[in-house]
């Protein structure tokens, strides 16, 4: 394949990590947030990046003009999902839901041969107001583009069936211009599931950086802290100890794989005054080694956010809470998040990038291996057509 592409709502370009490998060359990108746009430019220096609000007419015009100059015949659009996601407020009139209108405008102006539109599955149940009438986004897309584009039948897919060590369900529209005479679908889901053990099991153990105790107390709590930190950094600059509070770390040290500290009778999450705090059962929870990671969110730095805990390994394996002790009482490192998001270890993020911003980007992004499987399928379809 050899197509030039426009990337809308590109963030840091996680989605298109493997595009070049399959002949899809992003030439123009657009992103609202400056930090994400700067990281994108660092990762893809040859791409024309437009940082700004796509809903502003002048910005939109410049993006389309640049895409026309580059003869972009492929579009990938990943508009923000917070207005639809179960993790958001799901307000009916959230303006972010209407960004799909700008995607449709771009498609109509550029007439690309192929389009990828990605979002959360809730997009299928979300309505937007068009000419005073509330209609489903899915209905809107098909009514606006169905005359020129063939839509894929199975558009809700889980990344865990496509070589990604993460259970992440997404709605991905694969559109092929009817003139191409191609029905573009995802390949059949694989029966082989990539697990956390497959993805991060070879990485060195890390003790957490406990921020509210002295260095002497940290050394007493974790005698091998510096040794482990050094071993982690020898693998990658992004495999370093996450920062946590002492009371959270102690609770997780007594919490085994796949369990939540809320199940502990003694070592449970507490407030700063020592009283038991309140929270959901899927927080302060370790993941499982032999399952895919839970869906990565924007809040992976917080051990008290949903299902963020490292699986850990038994130091002292015991059913007795007082006796048992587990390693890695922490969230996943950035390298571990990269791996369960199907990014390569040499993903070239800027050295000075904020760890919180990187974590947010990974929580927002579509795992690139998922889209790579769609591109592999498209390559095969095009090759078959050429042989006819």
Question: 137-145 vs 99-110: helix axis angle to the nearest 10?
Answer: 10
Helix, coil or strand: residue 283: strand
Q: Reply yes or no on whether 81 is catalytic.
A: yes
Which residue, among 184, 110, 194, 119, has the nearest Cα to 153 in the 3D structure?
184
Give CA–CA dist 283/308, Å, rounded.
Answer: 7
For residue 213, the 8-state DSSP code is S
Strand pairing class (149-151; 169-177): antiparallel
**What backbone torsions phi and psi does residue 319 show, to the nearest 5 degrees?**
-70, -15
What does the DSSP assignment read for 229-262?
HHHHHHH-TT--PPEE-HHHHHHHHT--TT-BGG
Question: 99-110 vs 57-69: helix axis angle to the nearest 10?
Answer: 30
Rounded alpha-carbon distances, angstroms, from residue 19 to 4, 16, 27, 118: 10, 5, 12, 15
Rounded alpha-carbon distances, angstroms, from residue 8 to 79, 105, 210, 358: 7, 12, 40, 19
Angle at 212 between CA 207 and CA 215, to 5 degrees: 60
The residues, ordered by sequence, that sit 6+ positions from 341 with a Cβ below 8 Å of its Cβ are: 14, 164, 166, 296, 362, 365, 367, 368
Catalytic residue among 81, 98, 171, 259: 81
Rounded alpha-carbon distances, angstroms, from residue 369 to 161, 248, 323, 334, 372: 10, 34, 41, 18, 5
Q: Which active-site residues does the annotation give?
A: 81
């Amino acid at each position: 394949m050899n197509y030039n592409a426009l990337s809308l709502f590109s963030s840091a370009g996680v989605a298109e990590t493997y595009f070049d490998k399959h002949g899809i060359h992003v030439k123009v990108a657009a992103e609202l947030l400056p930090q994400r746009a700067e990281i994108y430019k660092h990762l893809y220096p040859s791409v024309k990046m437009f940082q700004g609000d796509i809903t502003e007419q002048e910005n939109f015009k410049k993006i389309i003009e640049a895409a026309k100059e580059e003869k972009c015949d492929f579009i990938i659009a990943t508009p923000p999902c917070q207005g639809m996601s179960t993790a958001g407020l799901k307000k009916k009139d959230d303006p972010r839901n209407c960004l799909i209108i700008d995607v449709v405008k771009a498609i109509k102006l550029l007439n690309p041969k192929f389009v990828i539109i990605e979002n959360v599955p809730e997009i299928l149940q979300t309505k937007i107001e068009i000419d005073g009438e509330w209609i489903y986004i899915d209905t809107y897309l098909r009514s606006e583009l169905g005359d020129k584009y063939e839509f894929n039948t199975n558009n809700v897919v889980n990344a865990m069936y496509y070589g990604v060590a993460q259970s992440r369900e997404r709605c991905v529209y694969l559109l092929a211009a009817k003139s191409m005479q191609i029905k573009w679908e995802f390949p059949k889901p694989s029966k082989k599931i990539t697990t956390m053990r497959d993805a991060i099991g070879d990485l060195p153990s890390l003790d957490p950086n406990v921020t509210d105790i002295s260095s002497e107390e940290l050394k007493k709590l974790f005698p091998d802290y510096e040794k482990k930190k050094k071993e982690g950094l020898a693998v990658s600059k992004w495999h370093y100890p996450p920062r946590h509070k002492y009371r959270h770390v102690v609770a997780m040290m007594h919490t085994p794989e796949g369990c939540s500290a809320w199940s502990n009778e003694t070592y449970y999450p507490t407030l700063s005054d020592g009283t038991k705090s309140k929270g959901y059962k899927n927080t302060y929870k370790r993941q499982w080694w032999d399952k895919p990671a839970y869906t990565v969110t924007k809040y992976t730095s917080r051990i008290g956010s949903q299902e963020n805990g490292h699986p850990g390994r038994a130091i002292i394996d015991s059913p007795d809470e007082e006796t048992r002790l587990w390693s890695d009482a922490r969230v996943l490192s950035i390298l571990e998040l990269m791996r369960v998001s199907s990014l390569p270890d040499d993903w070239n993020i800027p050295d000075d990038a904020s760890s919180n911003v990187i974590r947010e980007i990974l929580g927002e992004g579509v795992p690139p291996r998922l889209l790579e499987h769609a591109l592999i399928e498209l390559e095969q379809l095009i090759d078959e057509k050429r042989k006819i």
